[in-house]
Homo-oligomer: A and B are copies of this chain.
């Protein structure tokens, strides 16, 4: 049931090369980007001056060879990131539980990407474009319908860009890998896949009847 993210791939370095379970390392950028593009939330970590790390869940979008995310400009952790502290950004997709015949080989199917680096703070049109990219990644079709951010709202929002230069991915799939000596044990073995899906949209309590039709672009979302 071990999951390790000390993981090597595009832009890999000594610090991101997979030490544990190197057979699970993914070395093509297509797979790495595919994992990033399939996730909705990543976990961003930064340490303060005492070495205490903090981990925040963040909505994000991959754009070309960067990851974009945003948060409150007043957030202490975002300010640490903006000031150039080293960060780690990890996306994990859990695909299922792996039921092996031994406790030791019992595990999870998952895909994960780990990115190390320093964030850039975006401003002006680049900042606005990044907000649109994050929105369109998570809620495709939505941006053109909604009220864009005001100057005050933009000022309250920090948008950060993290380059995909030091990154690695790990894919664990394919079911239990029991020791040959355990294969004959009288116990079921296999995988229980986990599936994530959108449910029917729930209208806001204050939605006027004339706007109650769910937009086609929302109906088309698939997970």
Contacts and interface: CB of A to CB of B under 8 A. Distances in A.
A58 interface: yes
A200 B73 CA distance: 44
Contacts of A71: 2-4
Interface string A73-100: 0111100000001111110101011011
12 contacts: A1-B59, A1-B138, A4-B75, A6-B54, A19-B74, A41-B110, A57-B90, A57-B92, A97-B138, A184-B208, A189-B203, A190-B202
A15 B184 CA distance: 52
Contacts of A189: 203-204, 206-207, 211
Nearest to A21: B72
A204 B107 CA distance: 13
A156 B55 CA distance: 27
A64 interface: no
A52 to B, nearest CB: 4
Contacts of A129: none
Interface string A4-16: 1110000000010
Contacts of A187: 145-146, 211
A139 B176 CA distance: 14
Interface in A200-216: 200-208, 210-215
A40 interface: yes
A50 interface: yes
Given A97-B139, A193-B200, A194-B198, 18 more contacts: A4-B77, A5-B54, A41-B108, A47-B53, A51-B51, A51-B86, A55-B89, A57-B112, A59-B108, A97-B138, A99-B142, A102-B148, A103-B153, A187-B211, A189-B206, A190-B214, A193-B202, A194-B199
